[in-house]
A and B are shown apart, each in its own frame.
Chain A
Amino acid sequence: SAVISQKPSRDICQRGTSLTIQCQVDSQVTMMFWYRQQPGQSLTLIATANQGSEATYESGFVIDKFPISRPNLTFSTLTVSNMSPEDSSIYLCSVVTGGPYEQYFGPGTRLTVT
């Protein structure tokens, strides 16, 4: 497995502002993903964070709203831009490590937009 940390763990933000969430892994990983989870609900994949190239976004998510950076194999950021209350959610990063299939998750960032 891997030790994955996320910053911040939680934040309360004003409508119209942006928040950048950091994901740090204790080892180099090739595959990294960003998910969103509404409280009490399942997870939805936002994008695949590709090292050295643009992220690959899932249907319903766009780069202007959720820009992602992946400068190296241990770090990525997700920015939630021009936030609205509908963006209130838990944002999670995950990595594939320890085997070709095993995916591990960070602790999540709980975002509340007022």
Chain B
Amino acid sequence: QQQVKQSPQSLIVQKGGISIINCAYENTAFDYFPWYQQFPGKGPALLIAIRPDVSEKKEGRFTISFNKSAKQFSLHIMDSQPGDSATYFCAASFEDRKLIWGLGTSLAVNP
């Protein structure tokens, strides 16, 4: 049973556009929601993360929006660049810090 549902599976955005990736979770015991960026042949890199007591967090061009009542969170990439082309994973964890992963979104930013 997948506990974190991620959409879309793939996304194509023009340079300068906004990329939006959505995730939904079921278990209200999750207390930490990170996003990871992974390039081919590399390990996932922590991009940005949020805890459920905050509705939004911004770091540079990356923003997480968190809706606790809807059990949803999303990643917004502003002014998307070709270098942002990668696979993005949302995840959620419990107190034990085990990460439950979404299935990933393959983002392609066209120049």
Task: Give me the interface of A with B, judged by CB distance under 8 Å.
Answer: 1, 4, 31, 33, 41-45, 48, 58, 92, 94, 96, 101-108, 110
Alpha-carbon distance A43/B99, docked complex (angstroms): 9
Are A41 and B104 CB-contacts (below 8 A) given A101-B32, A102-B49?
yes
Task: Give me the interface of B with A, judged by CB distance under 8 Å.
Answer: 32, 34, 36, 41-46, 49, 51, 89, 93, 96-99, 101-104
Q: Is the CB of A41 within 8 A of B103?
A: yes
Q: Is the CB of B34 within 8 A of A103?
A: yes
Return the 3 tightest CB-CB contacts between A and B, nearest first.
A105-B43, A101-B32, A42-B101
Between-chain CB contacts (< 8 Å), 27 pairs: A1-B46, A31-B97, A33-B97, A41-B104, A42-B89, A42-B101, A42-B102, A43-B99, A44-B101, A45-B98, A48-B98, A92-B43, A94-B43, A94-B99, A101-B32, A101-B34, A101-B49, A101-B51, A101-B93, A101-B97, A102-B46, A103-B46, A105-B43, A105-B44, A105-B45, A108-B41, A110-B41
Report the minimum CB–CB distance from B41 to chain A (whole Å): 8
Given A41-B103, A102-B34, A103-B93, 10 more contacts at CB 8 Å? A1-B46, A4-B43, A33-B97, A45-B99, A48-B98, A94-B99, A104-B46, A105-B36, A105-B45, A106-B43
